[in-house]
Chain A
Amino acid sequence: MTTSAVTSDEQPTAVEAVGTGLKDRLQQFLAFASLIAIFLFFSIASSSFLNYSNVTAILFSTVVIGLLALGTTFVIITGGIDLSIGTGMTLCAVISGVLITNSGVPVLLGVIGAVLFGGLIGLVNGFNVSILGIPPFIATLAMMLVAQGLALVISDSTPIYFTDSPSYIGISTGHLFGVDFPNAVLVLAVATVIAAVLANKTVLGRYTYSIGSNEEATALSGINVRRWKLVIYTLAGLFTGLAGVMISARLASAQPGTGLGYELQAIAAVVIGGTSLAGGKGSIVGTIIGALIISVLNNGLQIMSIPQEWQNVILGIVILVAVYADMARKRAVV
């Protein structure tokens, strides 16, 4: 064997295809294996960790961060960032409260309104980033502040309660299938499937990866990059809106003063899931695994009575280890 390049024979084609597929699967397997390892650790370390209600609680607590992380995965794969998802989520929750509680709009329409409002926030982000050319970090940092302020202004700085709309609260805590399994988890599951299909099976997904790999080359290939970035930021906004609905349904209220910090947790989930902040690489499955790792850690550490402050320290270290391990693995493969 002296020639490195092989002409278009069929035999090595199959070998190579398996090779690359395996590599991708290995990456997700590693993240998944870490999740299992952490899970097993807590199961052994604490007797009250591994039981049906606690596992359900973990899944339940993943919903909001998970939804935010799903949407922002698309933005991050394009090489962008969205810092406005935390307070944007709160603003959408307030909008939901204004529509349903203050204006008496039917719950279904209120939910749709809140989700679409999230899309509008994303659209504005997309406009600022792709049409005006403002760097994503700055554009969404500004939106983070705008959303935070607007949420307080619109709600007059007081929480809006959904106590009169039990069906709204049921979106999160109800049990559609009768069993003791919250609807919120189902919402996250469906959203994950939708996001995965969008990322892997649609033109939108393909362009998301293309733009992240090489924006200029994608534009020169005749793709309307500006328009697609607009679409991608809007998509992220829709997920933000849905997260706003889910968090306010869970709390039975829209809390206008909250939201800040969620964006960083979501970005952390995306990064732990193996998505590169440089763009072009990442996966939806990875993001969900990342979100689950964060939830399991928070839950497990809490059960072991480790103070909140230390939980953050540990989460920070986990992010470093996850990203470093990912980089080291890539170097080893090359």
Chain B
Amino acid sequence: MSEQPLLLHVQGVSKTFPGVKALEAMHLDLRAGEVLALVGENGAGKSTLMKLLTGVYEADEGEFFLNGEPYEPTSTKHAQELGISIIHQEFNLMPDLTVAQNVFIGREPRGSRLFLNERRLNAQAAELIERLHLPLRPKELVGNLTVAKQQMVEIGKALSYDAKLLIMDEPTAALNDAEVEVLHDLIRRFVRPDTGVIYISHRMDEIKQIADRVTVIRDGRYVGTRETKETTMKEVISMMVGREISGEAKPVGVQADRDVVLEVSGLSTKDLLKDVGFELRKGEILGFAGLMGAGRTETARALVGADGISSGTIRLRGREIRIHSPAEAAKHRIGYLSEDRKQFGLLLEQEVNANIGLSALAERFQKWGFMKDKAMRATSREYVKTLRIKTPSVAQTAKNLSGGNQQKVVIARWLVKDCDVLIFDEPTRGIDVGAKEEIYRLLNDLAEQGKSIIMISSELPEVLRMSHRIVVMSEGRVTGTLDAGEATQESVMHYATLRPDENPEDAAELGLVEQA
């Protein structure tokens, strides 16, 4: 029994899926008026626990108490009515409807039994937006909003149910630093003596900023809870992974005077990029830093021919090449690993084997159009082993793997293809700390083997610890190129917030207002 009133009390909860014990004797306490961070590696059981809390699944054993009352939600809607709302990593919004229509979907005020009262709907939405200080307008189309604003629509929707407990699942995965600040302000305003937030995140620095306590779970079991003020990131991480992780790593193998492999100059697109130029050298990890919308992903996509360019030259080992499609890029042994694994990377419903062999299929695993299935499986198994992909077999469906392992599958695909230039777009997004370390190790190994790597990342610490050199972009241009030695968080941020054309006042706003 705790001396403080518990908003949520979870006790002895177990949940088993066919073949998998997802949760065992799980325990969780959320005090009223606090933000509790919930951390754990992917597959630790966080999402299962959240699905139990929101009535998606039913627990096999154990009890939940909300404000001391037994809490047994039967559906997400029921959970919302009882005061628990969840904001998922992936939004559930209708892009073609307005903010107001989205927030009150299913609860639209009616003029009579049949007709909608759009005016009252917008008035209600305006009132909610006002109360929460959200930078939104009721009649805006959700599809036109930035990711950060769409998330605010989700939050508005959740809070419109008069939620007592708000669960946020990796809310900042797609936000830049300034947007994260806005989100945190919103959370602080939401937390009153009778409400609470469960904040699921992989970003340790944010947890320090926003959470009062941290609860760590591992392999479906409760590990422990710490006061944020009294713990260190290192302790939390070692609780999560069950082992110590070396904290402050530096880029390895930094070396000047390497041969230039890829030279890009004057790269422009109709929409965003203006005169982008950089050099990529053999065996180097070139970091790409910048705020959301700076044009890093666009540069990568233009480079591999996924999007058209209006001008620019690309030289590979001194020879000018033209790339019109990713297929041509692959012929030149340039591979791009998208930031969005699920949408642009994996064949989720297909086997691990089919995913790994995909790029090199035509080249290595066929004769006269017939597949050499055995050879492909053997190669897939080999890479599953060397990259330590956790999967029961190469016949496993890709969607059943955790995020980190999915990412490794996509990496394996390009390694099988034997690319010389690999472009990693946010390689560790949505991946837990332990798996991140493995991805880092892998990138370093690849560079060591002489591969040239471009690593696009929105996490500054990641850019700083991995990159031999850093290209910083802002507003579709390269604003600075830094060597590992001279790069600091501050210097990178300086270049990332530079606005080539506009005045400084606008620049201050840059973090909040993403340029369309």
Contact = CB atoms under 8 A, between A and B. Distances in A.
**Top 10 A-B residue pairs of the complex, sorted by shortest distance between their CB atoms:** A222-B330, A213-B347, A13-B393, A5-B390, A16-B392, A224-B327, A16-B393, A12-B392, A4-B20, A221-B359
A103 interface: no
B21 A1 contact: yes
Interface stretch (B90-98, B158-166, B248-256, B348-356): B348-356
B389 interface: yes
Interface stretch (A198-206, A244-252, A253-261, A317-325): A198-206
Given A216-B344, A217-B343, 16 more contacts: A5-B391, A5-B402, A15-B392, A16-B393, A16-B396, A17-B393, A20-B351, A20-B397, A203-B369, A206-B354, A207-B361, A213-B349, A214-B348, A221-B326, A223-B358, A280-B350
Contacts of A12: 392-393
Contacts of A216: 343-344
Contacts of B344: 214, 216-217, 220
Given A13-B392, A210-B347, A281-B349, A8 B385 contact: yes
A6 B390 contact: yes
Interface in A213-251: 213-214, 216-225
B384 A4 contact: no
Contact of B350 (A3, A209, A225): A209
Contacts of B396: 16, 20
B358 A202 contact: no
27 contacts: A1-B21, A2-B21, A4-B22, A4-B220, A6-B390, A8-B388, A16-B395, A20-B395, A20-B396, A201-B373, A202-B370, A206-B358, A209-B354, A210-B358, A213-B347, A214-B348, A217-B347, A219-B306, A219-B325, A219-B326, A221-B326, A222-B326, A222-B329, A222-B331, A223-B327, A224-B327, A280-B349
A325 B79 CA distance: 30
B108 interface: no
Contacts of B331: 222
Interface in B375-420: 381, 384-385, 388-397, 402, 405, 413, 417
B434 to A, nearest CB: 11
A204 B405 CA distance: 27
Nearest to B334: A222
A51 B418 CA distance: 60
Contacts of A202: 366, 369-371
A218 B21 contact: no
A47 interface: no
Interface in B193-241: 219-221
Given A2-B219, A217-B345, A220-B338, A206 B390 contact: no
A4 B390 CA distance: 10
A207 B359 CA distance: 10
Contacts of B219: 2-4
A143 to B, nearest CB: 26
Contact of B358 (A6, A13, A15, A218): A218
B370 A7 contact: no
A53 B409 CA distance: 54
A194 to B, nearest CB: 13
Contacts of B390: 5-8
A201 B371 contact: yes
Interface string B172-203: 00000000000000000000000000000000
A14 B413 CA distance: 23
A62 B344 CA distance: 40
B512 to A, nearest CB: 30
Contacts of B388: 7-8
A14 B381 CA distance: 13
Interface string B319-350: 00000011101110001101000011111111
A218 B392 contact: no
Nearest to A1: B21
Residue among B325, B343, B385 with max Cβ neighbours from chain A (10 Å): B325
B242 to A, nearest CB: 11
A219 B328 CA distance: 11
Nearest to A15: B392
B413 to A, nearest CB: 6
Interface residues of B, number: 55
Interface string A1-31: 1111111100011111100110000000000
B362 interface: yes
Contacts of A223: 326-327, 330, 358-359, 361-362
A201 B370 contact: yes
Nearest to A276: B349
Nearest to B345: A217
Contact of B327 (A6, A20, A203, A222): A222
Contacts of A207: 361
Contacts of A204: 369
Contacts of A21: 395
Nearest to B330: A222
Contacts of A4: 20-22, 43, 219-220
B346 A222 contact: no
Residue among A8, A210, A221, A224 with max Cβ neighbours from chain B (10 Å): A221
A21 B394 CA distance: 13
B190 to A, nearest CB: 33
A5 B22 CA distance: 11
A44 B351 CA distance: 43
Contacts of B381: 8
Interface string A65-98: 0000000000000000000000000000000000
Contacts of B22: 4
B414 to A, nearest CB: 8
A12 B395 CA distance: 11
B346 to A, nearest CB: 6
A12 B368 CA distance: 34
Residue among B346, B351, B358 with max Cβ neighbours from chain A (10 Å): B358
Contacts of A16: 392-393, 395-396
B445 to A, nearest CB: 18
Contacts of B438: none
A1 B335 CA distance: 39
B24 interface: yes
A96 B221 CA distance: 71
Interface in A292-317: none
A214 B406 CA distance: 15
A15 B393 CA distance: 9
A21 B348 CA distance: 18
A6 B391 CA distance: 6
A204 to B, nearest CB: 6
B325 A224 contact: yes
Contacts of B350: 209-210, 213, 280
A202 to B, nearest CB: 5
Interface in A174-219: 201-207, 209-210, 213-214, 216-219
A6 B358 CA distance: 24
Contacts of B336: 220
Nearest to A225: B327
Nearest to B329: A222
Contacts of B384: 8
Nearest to A21: B395
Interface in A112-164: none
Nearest to A203: B366
Interface string B112-123: 000000000000
B313 to A, nearest CB: 22
A1 B18 CA distance: 13
